Amino acid sequence: MSDGDDASVVADFYARWAALYDRIATAPGIGRWRRITAGRAAAAGETVIEMGCGTGANLPFLREHVGPTGRVVGIDIAGPLIDRARRRAGEYDNVSVVRADATTMPVRAADAVLATFVCGLFEDPAAVVDRWCDLVGPGGRVALLDATASEDPRGRPLNPLFNSFVAAGSPSGGLRDVLYAPVGGTEGALSRRVDASRAALAARTVDRRHETFGLGFVGLLSGTVQRESKNSGPL
């Protein structure tokens, strides 16, 4: 999402569905993925930025990993989601939430960046991930958790259902997209964006880990930004 129109469509969509989104975001089972993802990004005493923090479902896990001497900053563009995230952050004195666009650089420095279920919303995810790698610099960590259609033999039969779910949850989607989703459509765009974000991260990092959860529908790529960080190889 590079321009203001796209950003406001996304912000309005999530603002409208804040309460429902929070229920999905904190559903049983997802917490395990969030704790693992937080641990790939955050370490004790460090500053971690969560891009597109939504209702703040990751914030307690990030706080767990940075401990009392670190710092966690959540960034999001959608007001009502931020209100909920701020309520979660309020439990800790070293966790804060800021309203800003994660595709431009709203902060100057950080040890790590985390983004969960966000990269598929960006118009040019590779450029955004590149900026995040620049932000943390050599030695810094970036972790991306995203959902795409499954390549796991156990998950593949459920891909049509997943496509409908993606279409229903897409800020720019409509009923037509939901009905046509099982035979293709919205999910293709999501996968392309997620793949682009992962390729960008792979090009900039070493010590990468690629993990999958939930029958292969959810993938986590994490890595450490290297010194000369262009085209370091496959995932």
Ligand X SMILES: C[S@@+](CC[C@H](N)C(=O)[O-])C[C@H]1O[C@@H](n2cnc3c(N)ncnc32)[C@H](O)[C@@H]1O
Segment contacting ligand X (CB under 6 A): 95-103, 159-167, 176-184, 211-219? Answer: 95-103
H/E run at residue 116: strand 112-116
Q: Report, in Å, the least distance between residue 179 CB and ligand X.
A: 22
181 binds ligand X (CB under 6 A): no
Q: Report, in Å, the least distance between residue 181 CB and ligand X.
A: 17
Smallest CA-to-CA distance from 117 within 225, 214, 226 is with 214
How far apart are alpha carbons 162 and 188 in whole angstroms?
11
* Residue closer to ligand X, measured from CB, 117 or 217: 117
User: Mapping DSSP to helix (H, G, I), strand (E, B) and coil, where does residue 119 land?
Assistant: helix
The answer to whether 201 and 129 have CB atoms below 8 angstroms apart is: yes
Size of the site for ligand X (CB under 6 A): 22
Smallest CA-to-CA distance from 136 within 104, 102, 105, 113 is with 113
130 binds ligand X (CB under 6 A): no
Smallest CA-to-CA distance from 219 within 23, 36, 26 is with 36
196 binds ligand X (CB under 6 A): no
Segment contacting ligand X (CB under 6 A): 41-49, 76-84, 131-139, 197-205? Answer: 76-84
Choosing from 33, 117, 162, 217, the residue that interacts with ligand X (CB under 6 A) is 117
* Tokens at 233, concatenated: 């190889």
According to DSSP, the residues that pair with 151 across neighbouring strands are none
Choosing from 14, 61, 132, 217, the residue that interacts with ligand X (CB under 6 A) is 14
Exposure of 219 in the CB half-sphere (CA atoms within 13 A)? 20
217 binds ligand X (CB under 6 A): no
Interface with ligand X (CB under 6 A): 1, 7, 10-11, 14, 25, 52-54, 57, 75-78, 81, 101-103, 116-118, 121
